[in-house]
Amino acid sequence: MSTYVPPFIHACNLLNQLKIDMIPTPVEDICNKLNIDLKYNDEMDAEALLLKGGKLKSPIIVVNTANRYGTRTRFSIAHELGHYYIPNHINEIYTCTLIDLDNYQSNKLVEKEANEFAAELLMPNAWIKNAIKSIDVSLELLKTLSNKCETSLTATALQVSNSCSDRIAVVYSKDERIVWFNKAQSFNLYLVTGKLSKLSIAAEMFSSGGLLSEKKDSVPIEAWTHDDRNYKILIEDSLYMPYLNSVLTLLTIPYDEYDEEDDELFY
């Protein structure tokens, strides 16, 4: 039985194979170097698709450009490159919807793997770690990294939370409910799911009807968790995204005198 290789390793291998170390990652050049025919279409139903094998002279990636977001186009290309490059993605056709690309915790293994591959291809872990060292993670920092990598703020936040040592968690809420969250390894709290607490800034944003677009402040720990810890507050940094009726939240555990005790309990 072959050993499982995580998608981010395959992305690293591809970048090393092609000797690419620049940011933003030139996904169009990667397609060219791999002899993949890249096409754009603004009338297709799917968000992106990959055609390979069969009687094709070369693989084809087609990306829906009707969304008008350059970052989504780049992520779509990188996602399809994942389907092309990951060895166990053996289908000759992959038709990917917007849900496949936006659901970072998809139950579809191949789509989840392609998303992880795309994140590493566009935002290499080593580059992220170097960019955030000695800097506290904030939404402003995430915006800066997002601009440099030409990736969405949500994808950037997710990749940073997987790479950093800060005690942070990223939460994505839509229609006043938590859709998913991702915690850095050092974030030692169990987050609640379901409907947002009225104590959270994210809930305040939804109830404001979009009038409150961005806010950073301390909130009671009960706003996000029922965990029985000594922490009294969390730092919540939230951004309302009206075009998706969603809120991206960055939670940070502030350091205090209880840290050593709580870390011992966690580890």
Where residue 259 falls among pLDDT bands split at 50, 70, 90? low
Report the CATH architecture of 7-122. Orthogonal Bundle (1.10)
Each residue's pLDDT tens digit, 215-248: 999 999 999 998 877 889 999 999 999 988 899 9
pLDDT at 257: 45
Please give the Cα distance from 36 to 193 (Å, whole number): 41
- Residue 91, classified by CB atoms within 10 Å of its CB into exposed (0-12), middle (13-18) or buried (19+), is exposed
Please calculate the CA angle 76-80-81 and round it to the nearest 5 degrees: 115
Q: Is the pLDDT of residue 267 over 90?
A: no
Provide the sign of the torsion angle of the four alpha carbons 226, 229, 230, 233, taken in this order. negative
- Model pLDDT for residues 131-144, shown as the tens digit of each residue: 999 899 999 999 99
Check if the beta carbon of residue 202 is closer than 8 Å to that of residue 172. no
Band the pLDDT of 103: cuts 50, 70, 90.
confident
Percent of the chain at pLDDT > 90 equals 77
Residue 209: pLDDT band with limits 50, 70, 90: confident
Give the CA angle between residues 104, 157, 226 to the nearest 5°.
80
Q: What does the buried/exposed string (b/e) look like for 142-166 if buried means 16 or more CB atoms within 10 Å of the residue's CB?
A: beebbeebbbbbbbbbbbbbbbbeb
Give residue 190's pLDDT band: very low, low, confident or very high (50, 70, 90): very high
What pLDDT shows up at residue 265?
Answer: 44
The tens digit of pLDDT for each residue in 9-62 reads 999 999 999 999 999 999 999 999 999 999 999 999 999 999 998 888 999 999
CA angle 125, 129, 134 (to 5 degrees): 170
The two three-digit tokens of residue 12, written as one number: 């690293």
Residue ranges of domains in the chain: 7-122, 167-266
Per-residue pLDDT, 105? 67
Listing DSSP states for 89-132 in one string gives: ---SEEEE-HHHHH-TT-S-HHHHHHHHHHHHHHS-HHHHHHHH
Largest pairwise CA distance in the chain:
66
261 falls in which pLDDT band (50, 70, 90)? very low
Q: What was the pLDDT predicted at 237?
A: 97
Predicted confidence (pLDDT) per residue in 157-182, tens digit: 999 999 998 999 999 999 999 999 99
Tokens of 267: 């580890």
pLDDT digits (tens, 9 = 90+) for 77-94: 999 999 999 999 999 999
Distance CA(81)–CA(20), nearest Å, equals 15
Contacts of 33 (CB under 8 A, 6+ apart): 18
- Under 8 Å between Cβ of 169 and 151: no
Coil vs helix vs strand at 38? strand
Q: What is the mean pLDDT of the chain?
A: 91
Q: Which fold has domain 167-266?
A: Beta-Lactamase (3.30.450)
